[in-house]
Structure 1
Amino acid sequence: MLRRFVNTARVCSVGIAFSSLLGGAVHAADFSTKAAPVPYAADDFWTRPYLFGDLGRTKLKEQGIELGLTLGNESVGNVTGGSRNTAANAGQLWFGAKLDMGKLAGIPGGTVGLTLVDRFGKNLNTEADIPALQLTNEVFGRGNILRLTQLYYSQKLFDDRLELKGGRLPVGSDFFFGLCEFINLTFCGGQPGNIQGGYIYNWPVSQWAGVVHYKLAPEFTISVGVYDANPNYLTTSDPAIYFLPGIPASSRASGVMVPVELVWAPSGPLNGTWRLGGWYDSASTIDGGLPGVISTIPGIGGVPDQNLGDQRGRYGVYESILQRLTVDGPGAQGWYTFLNTTVADHRTSYQDYQIALGFRHTGTFSWRPQDEVGFAVGTTHVNSAALSPNAGGNEVPIEVWYGWQATGWLNLKFDAQYVINPGGRGYNAVGVKTDNAVVLGMRTEVHF
Structure 2
Amino acid sequence: MDHSKAWRPMRRLSLLITLAASPAFAAYTQYSATAEERHDEMMAFFTDHTEATVPDSVQSWWDYKYMLGDGYYRDDLAKEGLTLSLKFVTDSLGNVSGGRDQGFTYTGSMGFDADADLEKLLGIEGADFYVSAVWRSGTSLSNKYIGNVFQTQQIYGGQNLRLYAFYWRQSLFDDQLLLKVGRIAQGDDFLSRPIYWSYVQNAFDGNPVSIFLNTPMYAYPNSTWGGFAKYTPKESDFFVQGGLYGGAKTPTQTRNSAHGLDWSFDYDNAYLMGMFGWRPGMKISGQSELPGNYSMGAYYVTGHFQQFLPAPAPPGTSAEVEGKWGLYWMFDQMVYSNGVNSNGDKTGITPWFVVSIAPDERVNQMPYSFYGGVRWDAILPSRKDDFLALGYVYGMFSDDFAQSQRNRGIPGQNFESVIELTYMIQVNEWFTFQPDLQYIINPGGAHQYSDAFVLGFQSSVQF
The TM tier, using the shorter chain, reads 0.7 to 0.9
| Shift in alpha-carbon separation, 1:193–1:207, aligned structure 2, 3 A | farther
For 2:61 and 2:378, locate their aligned partners in 1 and report how far apart those are by CA, in whole Å: 22
| Shift in alpha-carbon separation, 1:339–1:310, aligned structure 2, 3 A | same
Which stretch has the larger CA shift, 34-43 or 378-387?
Answer: 34-43
Q: Percent identity?
A: 25
Aligned match for 2:204, one of 182, 187, 200: 187
Contact 2:85 2:114 in 1 (8 A): yes
Alignment correspondent of 2:223: 206
Question: Which secondary structure does the structure 2 equivalent of 1:59 belong to?
Answer: helix
Aligned match for 1:313, one of 323, 328, 339: 323
How far apart are residue 416 of structure 1 and its match?
0.4
TM score, norm. by length of structure 1:
0.82
Matched to 1:275, the amino acid is: S
More helix per residue: 2
Alignment correspondent of 1:350: 365
Contact 2:131 2:165 in 1 (8 A): yes
Contact 1:385 1:392 in 2 (8 A): no
Alignment correspondent of 2:148: 132
Aligned match for 2:269, one of 249, 252, 255: 255
Mark the structure with the bigger radius of gyration. 2
Alignment correspondent of 2:442: 421
Alignment correspondent of 2:81: 64
Alignment correspondent of 1:215: 232
Which stretch has the larger CA shift, 176-185 or 272-281?
Answer: 176-185
Contact 1:74 1:139 in 2 (8 A): yes
For 2:94 and 2:311, locate their aligned partners in 1 and report how far apart those are by CA, in whole Å: 33
| Shift in alpha-carbon separation, 1:378–1:309, aligned structure 2, 3 A | closer
For 1:177 and 1:64, locate their aligned partners in 2 and report how far apart those are by CA, in whole Å: 28
| Shift in alpha-carbon separation, 1:31–1:223, aligned structure 2, 3 A | closer
1:375 maps to 2:390: yes
Contact 1:385 1:391 in 2 (8 A): no
For 1:286 and 1:184, locate their aligned partners in 2 and report how far apart those are by CA, in whole Å: 30
Q: Which runs of 4+ in 1 moved over 4 A?
A: 2-7, 29-42, 192-195, 389-392
How far apart are residue 338 of structure 1 and its match?
2.1
Which stretch has the larger CA shift, 381-390 or 166-175?
Answer: 381-390
For 1:210 and 1:166, locate their aligned partners in 2 and report how far apart those are by CA, in whole Å: 4
Matched to 1:380, the amino acid is: G
- When the two structures are aligned, how many residues end up with a matched partner? 402
The answer for unaligned runs of 5 or more in structure 2 is 1-21, 283-288
1:361 maps to 2:376: yes
Aligned CA RMSD, in angstroms, stands at 3.0
1:395 maps to 2:395: no
Higher RCO (CA-CA < 8 Å; seq separation 6+): 1
How far apart are residue 391 of structure 1 and its match?
4.6
Q: Deviations over 1:239-269 (max 9, x none)?
A: 4xx236x325x2xx21100001112222474
Matched to 2:202, the amino acid is: L
For 1:236 and 1:30, locate their aligned partners in 2 and report how far apart those are by CA, in whole Å: 19
1:55 maps to 2:71: yes
1:32-181 → structure 2 map (5 Å cutoff): 35=41, 43-56=59-72, 57-128=74-145, 130-141=146-157, 143-178=158-193, 179-181=196-198
| Shift in alpha-carbon separation, 1:117–1:105, aligned structure 2, 3 A | same
TM score, norm. by length of structure 2:
0.79
Question: Which secondary structure does the structure 1 equivalent of 2:320 belong to?
Answer: coil
The answer for unaligned runs of 5 or more in structure 1 is 11-28, 295-306, 427-432
Contact 1:193 1:202 in 2 (8 A): no
Q: Deviations over 1:347-404 (max 9, x none)?
A: 3111112211111112121222222211111111111222236657221100001211
